[in-house]
């Protein structure tokens, strides 16, 4: 019964779309097709576009993304940082956790400035590096949920944009941090940082 319902839904969706397309052709081009032509086209479309076919197995496999914070696999520290913008205020938060998941330290703050989201995340990155230096952490994994900043960090040697050069200069001064990695994580992994960044703004 469930398979029949899915098949009926797929056929119905294809027919509705083709009817709408036929109506537009009639209004704007003065061309109308017979019902059996619409039906045959709907059947062929449903078979050909398997990516959107709710009956067949999807061609593109579903990617299982990690949506929670995970412990590091070795003795490396994990440093998560995030920034939030509300009006003209920027809040940032940095949390350092060991390989067992225990929080070693937490730092948050805010500043009044007008910055784009990417620059606000860069500001949080600088603060996280300051915290790592103050704790003498030389073996760590920095995590951010800002994809654009993660790409800037990945290509910091060849990025010619302004923020790319700022990242380049920042990394050149990281002689104290011998063995660090930077990676992008799902925003669900940074929920705590996002909450505390908002808290830093709303309570100041």
Please report, for the chain, the start and end positions of each structural domain, with discontinuous segments joined by +.
Answer: 2-52, 77-202
Per-residue tokens: 160? 């010619």
Contact of 154 with 182, CB cutoff 8 Å: yes
Tokens 């993304």: give the residue: 65
CA distance 127 to 197: 13
Q: Tell me, yes or no, if the pTM score tops 0.85.
A: no
Confidence at residue 63, expressed as pLDDT on a 0 to 100 scale? 64
Give pLDDT < 50 ranges for the chain: 1-4, 51
Contact of 189 with 68, CB cutoff 8 Å: yes
Contact of 163 with 202, CB cutoff 8 Å: no
CATH class, 77-202 region: alpha beta
């Amino acid at each position: 019964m469930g398979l029949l319902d899915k098949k009926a839904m797929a056929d119905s969706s294809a027919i509705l779309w083709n009817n709408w397309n036929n109506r537009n052709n009639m209004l704007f081009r003065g061309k109308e097709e017979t019902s059996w032509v619409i039906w045959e086209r709907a059947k062929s479309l449903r078979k050909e576009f398997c990516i959107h076919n709710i009956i067949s197995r999807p061609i593109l496999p579903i990617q299982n993304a990690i949506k929670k914070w995970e412990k590091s696999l070795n003795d490396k520290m994990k440093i998560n940082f995030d920034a939030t913008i509300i009006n003209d205020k920027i809040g940032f938060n940095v949390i350092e956790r060991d390989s067992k998941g225990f929080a070693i330290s937490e730092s948050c703050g805010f500043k009044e400035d007008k910055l784009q989201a990417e620059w606000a995340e860069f500001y949080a990155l600088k603060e996280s590096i300051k915290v790592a230096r103050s704790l003498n952490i030389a073996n760590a994994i920095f995590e951010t949920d800002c994809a654009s900043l993660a790409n800037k960090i990945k290509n910091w040697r060849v990025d010619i944009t302004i923020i790319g050069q700022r990242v380049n200069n920042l990394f050149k001064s990281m002689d104290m941090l011998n063995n660090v990695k930077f990676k992008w994580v799902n925003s669900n992994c940074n929920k705590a940082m996002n909450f505390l960044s908002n808290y830093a703004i709303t309570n100041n």
